[in-house]
Chain A
């Protein structure tokens, strides 16, 4: 178990969670961020890093990925710590008034306040509708490749036709014992370079390409043994395998936060607009995950929410100190 003690635990490392570190830092509060994605930035990094955003004050246009890089630079003086690639599961109030937030991989964060900045929830892998898929999760089926070496000399099936499937096919081809790439349609629409490489690997026998086919069923005995495919003409075939990695992108789910006892309205957390606190004192929600009369799901609104949240969070972190409001132009940035 990995235990971290901090002032504020921020659930979600998207742009709003990142900027909250800055606002908290100005008030000398330390932050730890947890995100299910393996890198900070939330959907800006995961879904549209190359898209320009036009409504960030002071930036006539900024690429989403560039905004995240800038936010990371901006919060650096406040030395935030991160737990990435782990999903927040439980939350409890401790007898001394602190909170304990726990991830699925047993990271525990002990903190004075919790700030939920989880956007539309955690991005979870899209799963194909194949029989017994979930039975073999962790027993041959995985949706992310964290350590390619794990697949050395094994028989691996990748399913999917996007850039992620193509890139991993190219990466895994020299490592695995036998690689099959199953794609639903006739052609690939990924980056032309990658598509060509995959076709080259297929003609040299390094990848078995199965097009126009879907995975319909998984079979095994405790662990995955074989996968059944169905082509467009409804012909079934079976491939023996050790691993199946479906790569169909990610889709957001509210996840375990839904069971934390927070007031919800249509999958969004109800907050007040004075300080964006939820119905649980000491727990705040900012950014796309919250709702209130007049809510706009804009990054700039999330930034504003983070600033007001920090003023109230200060009361929990430093209950004996009076907060006096200061401009950064007067006080500058005081790193810690």
Chain B
């Protein structure tokens, strides 16, 4: 397990920012990004039930653990998803690879 994961985040306006996330914390990627001030509602608080932390993994997808059943169920109800769609709340910090790039999915109007 790498000590840090270098996360590149592309927000909904296309602005790219970078942060180093320690992998020894008991948090998930949604909590990390929300804590950093990214606009993630996280209505359900991380139960894979609201879809507001939906993101596309542009780099590092294959190094992440597979999608959970709960995550697949939720993604299945969203109007638009892609092969690289993930819910950030289901990606635990210790499972992060050395480097990933995520793009926050557009929120429907």
Check A43/B43 contact, CB under 8 A, given A48-B49, A189-B72, A251-B52.
Answer: yes
Contact (Cβ within 8 A) A185 B76: yes
A43–B47 Cα gap in the complex (Å)? 12
Check A120/B81 contact, CB under 8 A, given A48-B49, A161-B76.
Answer: no
Mostly, the B contact residues are loop
Q: Could you say which of A33-41, A67-75, A123-131 contacts chain B? A: A123-131
Range class of the B interface residue count: 10 to 19
Per the CB 8 Å criterion, the residue count for chain A at the interface is 23
Residues of A within 8 A of B44 (CB): 43, 47-48
A-B CB contacts (within 8 Å), total count? 59
Flag whether A85 is at the interface (Cβ < 8 A). no
The residue of chain B having its C-beta at the shortest distance from the C-beta of A165 within the complex is B77
Flag whether A28 is at the interface (Cβ < 8 A). no
A189–B77 Cα gap in the complex (Å)? 9
Name the distance in Å between A229's Cβ and chain B's nearest Cβ: 14
B76-106: which have CB < 8 Å to A?
Answer: 76-81
Mostly, the A contact residues are loop
Residues of A within 8 A of B59 (CB): none
Flag whether A312 is at the interface (Cβ < 8 A). no
Check A162/B80 contact, CB under 8 A, given A48-B44, A249-B51.
Answer: no
Contact partner of B108 (CB less than 8 A), chosen from A51, A129, A214, is A129
A248–B77 Cα gap in the complex (Å)? 5
Residues of A within 8 A of B108 (CB): 126-129, 251
Residues of B within 8 A of A252 (CB): 41, 43
The residue of chain B having its C-beta at the shortest distance from the C-beta of A288 within the complex is B43
A149–B43 Cα gap in the complex (Å)? 33
Name the distance in Å between B50's Cβ and chain A's nearest Cβ: 6
Contact partner of B77 (CB less than 8 A), chosen from A120, A129, A249, is A249
Residues of B within 8 A of A126 (CB): 51, 78-79, 108
Most buried by B among A188, A251, A252: A251
Contact (Cβ within 8 A) A246 B79: yes
Residues of B within 8 A of A127 (CB): 79, 108-109
Contact (Cβ within 8 A) A184 B81: yes
Contact (Cβ within 8 A) B43 A120: yes
5 contacts between A and B (CB under 8 A): A51-B47, A160-B77, A185-B76, A189-B72, A251-B52
Closest 10 CB pairs of A and B: A162-B77, A128-B79, A248-B79, A189-B76, A249-B77, A47-B49, A126-B108, A161-B76, A189-B73, A127-B108
